[in-house]
Amino acid sequence: MSSPATPRKTKLPFGSFLERILSKLGLRGRTLVIAIPTLWLFVFFLVPFLVVAKISLSEAMIARPPYSSIWNWDDGVLNLTLNFGNYLFLLEDTLYFAAYMESVKIAFVSTVFALLIGFPMAYTIARSPDSRRNILLMLVILPFWTSFLLRVYAWIGFLKTNGLINAFLLATGIIDEPLIMLQTDFAVYVGIVYTYLPFMILPLYANLVKLDDALLEAASDLGAKPAMTFLTVTLPLAVPGIIAGSMLVFIPAIGEFVIPALLGGPDTLMIGSVLWNEFFSNRDWPVASAVALVMLAVLVVPIMILRKAQAASEGASQ
């Protein structure tokens, strides 16, 4: 990590003794600081990723662990068996493709709704007086203090046939018979939008709070009515926040497993549930691993595109 362009020595706070030892090992303070997160990523991300990649190239078998080894040592010959059959299987069975599409759709629609609900909330918080702002932010974060699982369960109480919402609608005479909301895609949307809304609000808030009032006044002064000011000034300047918030909702939503399992119906097909079934019900670890890796690929490409767009727009606004 140490580049030859930076010959300046970085002094460690605890004396030259440690520095001398480190320099004998060819390490500088700077290298050490970067080494810790690098090591962390290596041990807890790259190694598991390679293990999963390895499993995805093996064959399922009834054994412990339930997959074949991809190499074996036999009489001085190393045999490497790479089985791409799992990936081909994902292509053959339309279930997987449908599940990916459905996941992307649900995540996308949820992100749009989270944005539509989150933007006005973030805007209101950012525009409120300092004293009220912290309380409102607290209210956004407060749900995190209870278990995520409990909060999703609570929605069952709201959405079920004899739940609170139906009881209210029946009592007020708006509907004659209870709506079926639980175990539908609708419930999954509600659950995902509810759960991930703070992830939308917080980055949007962080962006909108920096918006200079003088810019809004300038637009108004130059003849823009409030709606026009919003479209031409507020919204374009909020794009980095919108992108950050949308990614924080979209990425976890696509792999969401608990919410569709609890709120969704038998028709709700999300890749997270498929993964769970392959792994625990079918005990087909190789196919499950292949599903996981393809999901990663599905996610990484749009993320990289968005990051690029974000970096470009941030460069322009500074």
Residues near other proteins (CB under 8 A) are: 212, 214-215, 217-225, 228, 232-233, 236-237, 316-318
23 vs 232 by CB, closer to other proteins: 232
Taking the complex as a whole, the smallest distance from the CB of residue 240 to other proteins amounts, in Å, to 11
Taking the complex as a whole, the smallest distance from the CB of residue 128 to other proteins amounts, in Å, to 17
DSSP 200: H
93 vs 217 by CB, closer to other proteins: 217
Residues linked to residue 60 through DSSP beta bridges, in sequence order: 67
Taking the complex as a whole, the smallest distance from the CB of residue 315 to other proteins amounts, in Å, to 9
219 vs 270 by CB, closer to other proteins: 219
Measured distance CA(187)–CA(268) in Å, rounded: 10
82 vs 215 by CB, closer to other proteins: 215
| Tokens linked to 27 | 């390490």
Taking the complex as a whole, the smallest distance from the CB of residue 309 to other proteins amounts, in Å, to 14
122 vs 238 by CB, closer to other proteins: 238
Taking the complex as a whole, the smallest distance from the CB of residue 310 to other proteins amounts, in Å, to 14
200 vs 233 by CB, closer to other proteins: 233
Taking the complex as a whole, the smallest distance from the CB of residue 224 to other proteins amounts, in Å, to 5
